[in-house]
Amino acid sequence: MDNMRVKRVEPIRHQVARVIRAAIADLRFKPGSLLIERELCELTGASRPSVREALRQLESEGLVISVTGKGTVVASVTEDEARQLYQVRASLEGLAGRLFAEQATPEQRRELAAVVDRFEAEIEDQGNLIPIKDEFYRVLFEGAGNEVAYQMLASLQRRTSLLRSKSLSAPGRPQETLRELRAIVEKAELGEADAVEQLCRDHVAKAEKAALARLAELEKQFGLAQRTG
């Protein structure tokens, strides 16, 4: 965990939240594990108030929860919660895809295609795929012209960060994802709004399937059939 120390460039609480969030996604902090402020201060080099603020931020995102008499623990996601999160994601991404096809500029369409090219170039380096997917969504929602929907999506993605990071490691899933993104770009360039909306929804449905399979593995591994708390 040597790479968890923060740099004093942006507010420290944001940096601390980011490194803890990444540690949760990487299973360095496992679901149900207790997060001790003193240890987090030592790991990140941040003060206790900054760590405490970061934990409050992560709690608002649903990544950690406060348990009376125990402290702050890494939250788990139940199957029902995961299904609900992906259900909302499908609606948001479908809407964004439709709006992008209808109103994105030629430059934004080229930018979206370029992001997919980057995804293909990095497909063997799975550590880079989530950031590239995040860039894909940024361009998609920017072209859709709906900042509110984008902020909602970002919140949902934080809630499912563990599932997202691990589902892309499933055999064949990166290649399948590439085909799905290519199809979205191709139909968007043709302005076929109905088709783009459906492709975006289908993409989320397949991501959900992979995520739920990963969740089942985590529940078996850590005994997390129910959310901690």
- For residue 8, pLDDT over 60 is answered with no
- The percent of residues in the chain predicted with pLDDT above 90, rounded, is 56
Please give the pLDDT value at position 156.
Answer: 87
Is residue 191 located within the same domain as residue 89?
yes
Please give the pLDDT value at position 228.
Answer: 39
Using the 3D structure, point to which of 74, 101, 122 is the last residue of a domain: 74
* Most confident segment among 128-137, 141-150, 209-218: 141-150
27's tokens: 């299973």
At 194, the pLDDT band (50, 70, 90 cuts) reads very high
109 in Cβ contact with 140 (< 8 Å): no
Does 228 fall in a domain?
no
Please give the pLDDT value at position 139.
Answer: 98
Residue 175's CB is within 10 A of a number of other CB atoms, namely 11
Average pLDDT over residues 53-80: 88
Does 19 fall in a domain?
yes
52's tokens: 């405490």
Please give the pLDDT value at position 157.
Answer: 85
Average pLDDT, the chain: 88
Task: Spell out the alpha helix ranges (H) of 168-192.
Answer: 173-189
Instruction: Identify the domain containing residue 51 by its residue range.
Output: 2-74
91 in Cβ contact with 153 (< 8 Å): no
Q: Please report the DSSP string for 134-192 in residue order.
A: HHHHHHHHHHHT-HHHHHHHHHHHHHTHHHHHHHTTSTTHHHHHHHHHHHHHHHHHTT-
Please give the pLDDT value at position 7.
Answer: 58
- For residue 10, pLDDT over 80 is answered with no
- For residue 54, pLDDT over 70 is answered with yes
Please give the pLDDT value at position 116.
Answer: 98
Distance of alpha carbon 20 from alpha carbon 209, whole angstroms:
26
Average pLDDT over residues 160-171: 75
Using the 3D structure, point to which of 74, 91, 113 is the last residue of a domain: 74
Looking at the structure of the chain, the number of domains it has is 2
Average pLDDT over residues 143-158: 92
Is residue 60 located within the same domain as residue 84?
no
Comparing CA positions, the residue from 217, 214, 215, 210 lying closest to residue 180 is 210
Is residue 42 located within the same domain as residue 125?
no
180 in Cβ contact with 204 (< 8 Å): no
User: Where residue 65 sits, what CATH number does that domain have?
Assistant: 1.10.10.10
Is residue 188 located within the same domain as residue 118?
yes
Is residue 93 located within the same domain as residue 203?
yes
- For residue 143, pLDDT over 90 is answered with yes
Using the 3D structure, point to which of 74, 102, 131 is the last residue of a domain: 74
